[in-house]
Amino acid sequence: MTSSYFSYHKPKVLQALRYHFVSRKEIKMMIILVNIFAIFSAGLYFFKKVSPLAFLISSMLWFVLMISLWYVLPGIIYRKSATFKDRFKVSFEDQHLFIENDRGSRSWPWKAFSSMLESPHFFHLYFDSRSFFIIPKDAFGKENEVEVRKFLKEKIKS
């Protein structure tokens, strides 16, 4: 169908990783529970049922969770992954996805992907709930983005 060259840009990759984490059910549930806990502890503090120290500790839990999910975890993954520093050629073909760079190439049949998620700057192609490959939308240009989206949705049935 189509092929294109791309490389990754750190701010966009960090945003895509955040999008991945926040879209996971267990992370969503944890954020909801921590927010409920923070609101509950604020209410208890307001009605003088808990000490300021207890309220401060519960607030710190919220801050640590949000900072970890928003900055620390995406930063660690970005630094550890050599993938984000390479330049790639991606080819979408009828039977498989083909990726290559200076060090080699790899292809996957479309049935190897379990789902696809779209974020503002990337197509996230998931092998399973934790393993995925992101392809920048701007690799195809605005004129081909709609065509690529349609093709990926056709090939990867979620």
Going edge to edge, which strands form the sheet with 115-118? Answer: 115-118, 122-126, 132-136
65 and 92 co-located in one domain? no
Quote the number of domains for the chain.
2
Which residues in the chain come in under a pLDDT of 70? 1, 158
Last residue of a domain, one of 80, 100, 125: 80
Backbone angles phi, psi at 127, to 5 degrees: -85, -45
156 with 110: CB under 8 angstroms?
A: yes
16 and 76 co-located in one domain? yes
66 and 47 co-located in one domain? yes
| pLDDT at res. 158 | 67
68 and 113 co-located in one domain? no
CATH number at residue 108: 2.30.29.30
71 and 100 co-located in one domain? no
73 and 36 co-located in one domain? yes
| pLDDT at res. 115 | 94
150 with 94: CB under 8 angstroms?
A: no
- Residues contacting residue 149 through CB under 8 Å, at least 6 positions apart: 118, 123
Per the structure, the complete domain to which residue 93 belongs is given by 2-7+85-155
15 with 120: CB under 8 angstroms?
A: yes
| pLDDT at res. 1 | 61
Return the C-alpha torsion angle 64, 58, 130, 9, nearest 10. Answer: -30
67 and 97 co-located in one domain? no
21 with 74: CB under 8 angstroms?
A: yes
107 and 136 co-located in one domain? yes
Record the tokens describing residue 73, joined without a space. Answer: 């975890």
Record the tokens describing residue 26, joined without a space. Answer: 């267990």
